[in-house]
């Protein structure tokens, strides 16, 4: 049987053909005016995507590298922070913090639920020594969208800074960095930014930069002071991922041509239609506060979620994602981020229907695709 491969996973996501062609150009040296001009254009355009006037730093790493930087370059051993553990990636901030000797006040949130900003407010009011609050915009492991706007309104009234992991949310879920008062925003290349893995990004407000100046954690590669010194010269301190930066320049041109408001609106329509399609199949969503980047769906009783995801990938060429940790085998996640339109998602839904039927789940064939299209067309 002829099999084509399609990515509908929440990272890496599909890369546009024009971007791949851009990255196929011959390599050149990075310590040159040629690269500095490209990098200057990229860092300027990134500010529009991040919705900020602050510096946006670029790292040759996965998003976790920028997460680590937000701790190692802002804090000192013994500092106190709040971390929100509502999924696999919110949990990661606490793990990184502990590795650097940071005291972490962890807010444990049931997976599938969003954090209540009031809990953060109460903790900040109780302990004025807390230096930072670490949150997640779109929790990729659960499909949950946290209300960063309300959280920022709480944190901005204190001396603490707000750090937000927007690795899967940037470009998918609305985020107004400066307008809302988010001090540090972290992103990665392989999700809404439509690139292969390998680049990470971090914006820093003036309020957060004061912590950078005070930080006493030893660092070398992920040292924001070194990156700032280089950025002022349209450069980076270490060897950049030249090919990915070339692709990024093309991606940013595409996003600018579509317009951020239109990009957000497209993701919202795709997400809503996907959620309605899943419900039409009799399936339940995990999140009551869903992200527009990815939809997390509970696997129906009697179906092995691991087998479902494996069948889709190995037999049908459709790559989704399964559940993690306690949700392993109980969940599948379908992404609708980045270089994705309605026909990409329809293809994924049709495959999900076929796989579910093959695994013994009873439902009306075609109900999901039909509901998606009805919702999309409205």
What is the rounded distance in angstroms from the CA atom of residue 123 to the CA atom of residue 116? 12
Neighbour count for residue 266 (Cβ, 10 Å): 17
Average confidence (pLDDT) over 148-173: 97
With 90 as the cut, is the pLDDT of residue 370 above it?
Answer: yes
β 80-85/130-136 pair status: parallel
284-338 tens-digit pLDDT: 999 999 999 999 999 999 999 999 999 999 999 999 999 998 899 999 999 999 9
What is the rounded distance in angstroms from the CA atom of residue 126 to the CA atom of residue 134? 17
The model's pTM is 0.96
pLDDT band per the 50, 70, 90 thresholds, residue 2:
confident
For the chain, give the number of residues: 378
What six digits make up the tokens of 212? 């950078």
CB 302 within 8 A of CB 360: yes
**What are the DSSP calls for 272-295, one per residue?**
HHHHHHHHHTT--BS-SSB-SSEE
Please tell me whether residue 262 adopts helix, strand or coil conformation: helix
218-250 tens-digit pLDDT: 999 999 999 999 999 999 999 999 999 999 999
Please tell me whether residue 64 adopts helix, strand or coil conformation: helix
- List, in order of start, the domains of the chain with CATH numbers: 6-13+259-377 (3.90.1150.10), 17-257 (3.40.640.10)
Average confidence (pLDDT) over 195-206: 98
Nearest to 50 by CA among 164, 197, 221, 209: 164
What is the rounded distance in angstroms from the CA atom of residue 46 to the CA atom of residue 126? 37
């Amino acid at each position: 049987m002829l099999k084509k491969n399609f990515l509908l996973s929440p990272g890496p996501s599909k890369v546009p053909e024009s971007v791949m062609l851009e990255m196929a150009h011959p390599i050149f040296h990075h310590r040159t005016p040629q690269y500095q001009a490209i990098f200057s254009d990229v860092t300027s355009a990134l500010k529009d995507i991040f919705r900020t006037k602050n510096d946006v730093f670029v790292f040759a790493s996965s998003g976790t590298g920028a997460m680590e930087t937000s701790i190692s370059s802002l804090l000192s051993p013994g500092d106190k922070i709040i971390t929100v553990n509502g999924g696999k990636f919110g949990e990661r901030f606490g793990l990184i913090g502990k590795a650097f000797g940071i005291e972490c006040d962890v807010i444990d949130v049931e997976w599938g639920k969003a954090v209540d900003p009031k809990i953060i407010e109460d903790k900040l009011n109780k302990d004025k020594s807390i230096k930072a609050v670490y949150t997640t915009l779109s929790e990729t492991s659960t499909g949950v969208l946290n209300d960063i706007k309300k959280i920022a309104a709480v944190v901005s009234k204190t001396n603490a800074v707000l750090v937000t992991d927007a690795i899967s949310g940037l470009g998918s879920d609305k985020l107004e960095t400066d307008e809302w008062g988010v001090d540090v925003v972290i992103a990665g290349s392989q999700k809404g930014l439509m690139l292969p893995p390998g680049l990470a990004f971090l914006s820093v407000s003036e309020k957060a930069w004061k912590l950078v100046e005070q930080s006493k954690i030893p660092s070398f590669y992920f040292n924001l002071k070194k990156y700032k010194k280089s950025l002022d010269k349209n450069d980076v301190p270490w060897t950049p991922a030249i090919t990915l930066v070339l692709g990024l320049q093309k991606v940013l041109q595409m996003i600018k041509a579509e317009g951020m408001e239109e990009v957000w609106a497209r993701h919202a329509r795709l997400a809503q239609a996907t959620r309605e399609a899943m419900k039409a199949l009799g399936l339940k969503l995990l999140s009551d506060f869903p992200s527009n980047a990815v939809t997390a769906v509970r696997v129906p009783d009697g179906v092995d979620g691991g087998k479902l995801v494996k069948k889709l990938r190995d037999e049908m060429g459709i790559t989704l994602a399964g559940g993690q940790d306690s949700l392993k085998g109980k969940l599948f996640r379908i992404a609708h981020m980045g270089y994705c339109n309605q026909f990409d998602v329809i293809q994924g839904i049709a495959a999900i229907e076929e796989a579910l039927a093959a695994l013994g789940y009873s439902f009306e064939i075609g109900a999901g695709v039909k509901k998606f299209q009805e919702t999309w067309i409205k």
